[in-house]
Amino acid sequence: MAHGSGHKPYPRCSLHPQTQGKIERWHQTLKNRILLENYYLPGDLEAQIAAFVAHYNHLRYHEAIANLTPADVYFGRGQTILLERERIKRQTIQNRRLIHRGKAAKHQSTDAPDPLRDFATICLN
């Protein structure tokens, strides 16, 4: 399969810890999640594993792939999602700046009364 897809095979050491690091970490996460409950029927265990795999691939965001789901990356939606996030971020920053400027302008226009100015106004009139 590797030859047909244009990927070059690379040598692996079968007992080397880093060789299977990602899949081993995935198995550890699966085990930790599955061992939280008791399963009395094989079908219950299989359903829980299927639910975990669906959650892991379609709902859980992964920091290593820019906080996307593996399904987003696999189906080519990653770049579109990242661009939309960037657009929302810029729009949010712009809205916050407008709100901040509005509050600053409002604060400047409603200065506290100046007693000296008020006294001068009363004395001169």
Q: What is the pTM of this model?
A: 0.59
- Check residue 1 and give its pLDDT: 42
Q: How far is CA 99 from the centre of its chain?
A: 26
Mapping DSSP to helix (H, G, I), strand (E, B) and coil, where does residue 62 land? strand
Q: Which domain holds residue 30?
A: 20-60
Phi and psi at residue 113, to the nearest 5°: -60, 140
- Check residue 122 and give its pLDDT: 62
pLDDT tens, position by position, 57-86: 999 999 989 999 999 999 999 999 999 999
In a domain, 33, yes or no: yes
Total tally of structural domains belonging to the chain: 1
Residue corresponding to tokens 């050491």: 13
In a domain, 53, yes or no: yes
In a domain, 105, yes or no: no
In a domain, 41, yes or no: yes
Statement: residue 15 has pLDDT above 80: no
Question: Crossing angle, helix 42-58 and helix 21-34, to 10 degrees?
Answer: 130
